[in-house]
Amino acid sequence: MRHSIFVRLMSAFTFLMLAQNVGRNKPFDWAQDRLRVSGIFVRRERRERLPPLRRGSGQAYPGLHRLISAFAVLVLFHSPVWPQNSLVDRVSTGESPHLKTLAVLDLELTGDLSDSTRDVEWSKRLALMTEALRDELSRSGLYRVVDHGAAPGLIAELKSARYLHACNGCEFDIAQRLGAERVLVGWVFRMSNLVLTLHIEIRDVATGQTLINRAFDFRGDNDTSWRRAIVYFVKDLRERPASRQ
């Protein structure tokens, strides 16, 4: 796209310079040009004030520089420089047929959970960060994230009994119910209030194969640190895509 913008601008500039040289070999005087197309007065203006025409000077063709200028404008504006239906637009609206559908399951927390007074805080953080992860992946253009509205009962039932990232294949049942080709399971291992690790796996629903398995250490058990780790994961996924997404 940048190359197209550059070519258009350079083409328009070239035609404008050509028009300038064909007209008078000096910058246009648009006010004087308008006077010269106003009938009898123009003929008088030409007779009394304009220098005599010389063969080869370019002034033997008084309308040619205007024609070239108009053509330069057409080169620049005939069609939009920016594409109307870009890949980003198609991705953001879920129209691209090439994106795999992805079910992003709720994030889970493991490790040191001995401080029961923080259970409510952790529960809210998990819900908030799960939505943040879904939003980041939706905007990334890597997948088409599916809605979970088709399987709330099944998800709640399975979550009440075990971790979804280690439930012996129950994540595939959820993904199939949602019509997804890929399923993401994620969890944060809390070593302490200072040291935590975000784990993300993306699995192929049809084969059960783990396509992506990544872990990121981060510091601080708070919303800001969690969100920073999620953003970094999506950035890393874009920069180092797996052979099969």
Mean pLDDT of 150-179: 86
| Same domain for 12 and 52 | yes
Lowest mean pLDDT among 11-15, 143-147, 192-196: 11-15
220 by Cβ neighbours in 10 Å (0-12 / 13-18 / 19+) ranks as middle
Same domain, 232 and 114: yes
pLDDT 10s digits, 191-241:
999 999 999 999 999 999 999 999 999 999 999 999 999 999 999 999 988
Judge whether 88 lies within some domain: no
Mean pLDDT of all residues belonging to the chain: 75
Please state whether beta strands 182-190 and 195-204 pair in parallel, antiparallel, or not at all (unpaired): antiparallel
As a whole number of angstroms, the distance between CA 73 and CA 66 comes to: 11
Q: Answer yes or no: do 103 and 68 share one domain.
A: no
**47 and 119 within one domain:** no
pTM summary value: 0.60
Cα radius of gyration rounded to whole Å, the chain: 32
The total domain count for the chain is 2
pLDDT at 101 exceeding the cut of 60:
yes
For residue 2, give both structure tokens.
């940048």
**48 lies in a domain?**
yes
Alpha-carbon span 178 to 78, nearest angstrom: 45
Domain enclosing residue 209, as ranges: 94-239
